[in-house]
Amino acid sequence: MQNNLNIRGEPIQTVYTNFRQRKFIVNRRYQRKLVWTLLEKQRFIDSLINQFPVPLFLGVAFEHPTRGSCFEILDGMQRLEAITSFIEGEFPVEGGYFDLSTIAETNKLLVEGRLTQKLPALGFEACNNILNYPLPISTSAFTTPENVDETFRRINTGGVRLSTHEVRQAGAISDFPQLVRKCAIYIRGDVSHTDIVDLDAMRNISLTSDELNYGIKVKETFWNKAHILTSENILASRDEEVVAHILLHILLKNNAKTSTNFLDEVYTQGSDVSKLADDTILKHGADIIYKQFCFVFDELSKVIQAFGNNLATYLYEKEPKKIQHAYQVLYLAFFDLLMTQNKKIQNVSSLAKALKWLATNNMGRLSNDRKWIQADRIQMINSVRGVLAPHFIAREGMDPTAMSWVENLQNILNQSRTENVCYDFKIGLHSLTPQGDLNSKALPKIVRTLTAMSNSHTGDSYVIIGVADNEGDAARHDKTYSTKAIKYGDFYVTGVGAEAEKYYQNIDAYQQFMQQIIDATPVSDEAKRAIQRNVVFIKYYDKDVILLKITRGKSPLKYDGKIYVRKIANTDPQPIPEENEFAFFAEFMEQSSRYPYAI
């Protein structure tokens, strides 16, 4: 059980200092999304200014190997984010923005150009009231992950402010809820490299309205653009309900049900249907199911984009009826054709035309007031599949789950916002000058960086060639090659196609050149194979992008006889002194068994 409870009042100024020192941790394995609206944030800050009491903040204390004493947030994440984002000038309250000169810490960031003072500034008294407000914080010592999970579940299952599905999710950490969460994140785009995320990084992947100038805009998510779910539905996790019902049909087939009660039962740990869903995931592999889900989503999304994204008005001749159910039927028909029957789309445009008024003509059971049942869903899936089948042909060769690259690249770019040390981006192998000289050290340096990232961090690490991480480099690339980069978030996808054509005639010759250079690098054959089998040339719209991935293995990788590590993004990897290698090996072996904070 949790013990060593400590309840104290912590001035917000101290809380902000801890925030800047990255001492507030969010575990996305069970935490809900950041979804507070601008009005909710403003109301909360107004309560602090006017010294109204606020609810208790709950968390677990643990020792981080490099940051010291840290605080995993169990209850109060939305409120803490509102405080820190207000102090950093993200939104006004009472017509004014926080005065950054009020405290030395924000004033220093202002002088350094890392924060900008927005006007008008809030008065000194209001700012001072906020900084001196003692937040009530209850902390318990970390014992086991299971106790943390159970604490979170007990805090949140009251359902006072949570939606129905958020109550289901609270503390639900078995295989099925985690698969639902992962698939839903893929569609929304609020991805992170690991489940353990700094509170500061959560801001970049929060779901926000147009009023806030950070995060992922709810209106830009697939669900909202396709007119399947409203912004309010998405913030209340209704998208995860739709995903859950789709996955249950894929996993359980005829044993699935369409009801809310059935979903409640699946999310009840230890129930028969919960065990059945988890056993099915274990049998087929969660990663394979996830890849298949994402692949089918990507293929269906291409078709929806072909007619302008508004699925609701396209599927129905008149008023849309139960569009969320209609999407389930359409998705599952696609899944059957693409995955079960191993087919591929013959022509996206002609398939898009076949979807016109599809729900009106083939999903009549959704038009009445009666709640649908599994038999209705199966009947409509079969009917829709019959209409769509002529637009699919047999697939040969490559596993289709390896072909879903547009969303994959975007998710990698999103992930790099929170764990940029595990990612590196290069525009190409040649300089952006009229001469276009080959940087002979570029590829060896990439290989060295990959080995260093593998030595430094568990999981997957990436180097992407064909992406600029700032507008200036993208502009120079565009001018050099007379091309136009595609902007995604803060990144610019330039591609390497123009470079390949200019210096190597085509992309195939470019690929052969890369493999030759990798072959010549001073790493072991095992390391070369680990890198070469994960060099993927992908298409992002009309751009050729190269993705190099490395997955940490059981042993460290050496480059030219030395062990390199990469601790800070955008810096060259550094070799470990020979006298420190024994300590490094010990830490390397320990990392995989640590609680995730230490990763």
pLDDT tens sequence across 317-339: 988 889 999 999 999 999 999 99
For every residue of 390-438, DSSP letters joined together read: GGEEE--SS-GGG---HHHHHHHHHHTTT-GGGEEEES-SB-SSSS--B
Determine, yes or no, domain membership for 171: no
Alpha-carbon distance of 12 to 203, in angstroms, equals 18
Q: Are 418 and 192 in contact (CB under 8 A)?
A: yes
Kindly report which listed range (104-108, 168-172, 538-542, 543-547) carries the lowest average pLDDT score. Answer: 168-172
Residue 443 CB coordination number (10 Å): 23
Q: Are 546 and 536 in contact (CB under 8 A)?
A: yes
Site of tokens 């293995």: 553
Whether residues 139 and 247 share a domain: the answer is: no
Q: 262: closest CA among 280, 279, 282, 241? A: 241
Report CA dihedral (486, 492, 495, 496) to the nearest 10 degrees. 150
Whether residues 440 and 530 share a domain: the answer is: yes
Domain count, the chain: 3
Kindly report which listed range (101-105, 125-129, 159-163, 505-509) carries the lowest average pLDDT score. Answer: 159-163
Say if strands 134-141 and 6-11 run parallel, antiparallel, or are unpaired. antiparallel
Q: 499: closest CA among 440, 441, 432, 446? A: 432
Q: Name the domain boundary from 182, 208, 234.
A: 208
Q: Are 120 and 97 in contact (CB under 8 A)?
A: yes
Kindly report which listed range (15-29, 159-173, 286-300, 472-486) carries the lowest average pLDDT score. Answer: 159-173
pLDDT tier at 125 (50, 70, 90 boundaries)? very high
Q: 417: closest CA among 597, 222, 203, 211? A: 203
Whether residues 352 and 443 share a domain: the answer is: no
Q: How many residues would you count in the chain?
A: 599
Alpha-carbon distance of 547 to 247, in angstroms, equals 29
Determine, yes or no, domain membership for 168: no
Percent of the chain clearing pLDDT 90 (strictly above): 56
547 DSSP β-pair partners? 464, 536
Q: Are 567 and 421 in contact (CB under 8 A)?
A: yes
Alpha-carbon distance of 83 to 89, in angstroms, equals 10
pLDDT score at 161 = 57
Number of H helices, E strands in the chain: 27, 19
Whether residues 439 and 548 share a domain: the answer is: yes
Residue 1 reports pLDDT greater than 80: no
Quote the Cα angle for 299-305-310, to 5°. 120
The residue-averaged pLDDT of 378-398 equals: 90
Q: What is the CATH number of the domain that holds 513?
A: 3.30.950.30
The residue-averaged pLDDT of 576-580 equals: 90
Q: Name the domain boundary from 401, 419, 452.
A: 401
Determine, yes or no, domain membership for 298: yes
Whether residues 242 and 376 share a domain: the answer is: yes
Q: 500: closest CA among 547, 450, 434, 545? A: 545
How many CA atoms, within 13 angstroms, populate the side-chain half-sphere of residue 79?
A: 18
Maximum mean pLDDT: which of 159-168, 273-282, 374-383, 560-569: 374-383
Alpha-carbon distance of 404 to 355, in angstroms, equals 22
Mean of pLDDT over the chain:
87
Kindly report which listed range (96-105, 147-156, 195-204) carries the lowest average pLDDT score. Answer: 147-156
Which residues have CB under 8 Å from 423's CB, separation 6+? 193, 412, 415, 416, 461, 462, 463, 464, 569
- What are the tokens at 154? 């007990």
Determine, yes or no, domain membership for 66: yes
- What are the tokens at 251? 């996993």
Whether residues 431 and 353 share a domain: the answer is: no
Mark 400-413 as b/e (b = at least 16 C-beta within 10 Å): bbebbbebbbbbbb
Determine, yes or no, domain membership for 184: no
- What are the tokens at 36? 């507070």
Report which residue type is found at 461.
Answer: S
Q: Are 464 and 423 in contact (CB under 8 A)?
A: yes
Whether residues 117 and 42 share a domain: the answer is: yes
The residue-averaged pLDDT of 294-299 equals: 94
pLDDT score at 133 = 96
Q: Are 439 and 430 in contact (CB under 8 A)?
A: yes
Whether residues 395 and 418 share a domain: the answer is: no
pLDDT score at 146 = 64
Q: 192: closest CA among 503, 460, 486? A: 460
pLDDT score at 432 = 92
The residue-averaged pLDDT of 107-128 equals: 94
pLDDT score at 148 = 62
57 DSSP β-pair partners? 137
- What pLDDT, in 10s, does the model give residues 173-191? 788 998 999 999 999 988 7
Whether residues 152 and 234 share a domain: the answer is: no
Alpha-carbon distance of 373 to 103, in angstroms, equals 60
Determine, yes or no, domain membership for 183: no
Determine, yes or no, domain membership for 355: yes
Q: Are 89 and 127 in contact (CB under 8 A)?
A: no
pLDDT tier at 404 (50, 70, 90 boundaries)? low
Q: Name the domain boundary from 354, 375, 401.
A: 401
The residue-averaged pLDDT of 447-467 equals: 91
Q: 289: closest CA among 183, 194, 406? A: 183
Which is it for the CA torsion 303, 306, 310, 314, positive or negative? negative
Whether residues 318 and 365 share a domain: the answer is: yes
Residue 566 reports pLDDT greater than 50: yes
Whether residues 487 and 341 share a domain: the answer is: no
Does 65 sit behind a cis peptide bond, omega within 30 degrees of 0 on the bond before it? no
Q: Are 126 and 12 in contact (CB under 8 A)?
A: no
Determine, yes or no, domain membership for 561: yes
pLDDT score at 597 = 43
The secondary structure of residue 253, as a DSSP letter, is G
pLDDT score at 592 = 59
Which residues have CB under 8 Å from 209's CB, separation 6+? 37, 38, 217, 218, 219, 231
Whether residues 555 and 580 share a domain: the answer is: yes
Q: 83: closest CA among 45, 50, 118, 57? A: 45
Which residues have CB under 8 Å from 273's CB, separation 6+? 252, 255, 262, 265, 266
**146 lies in which domain range?**
6-163+201-208
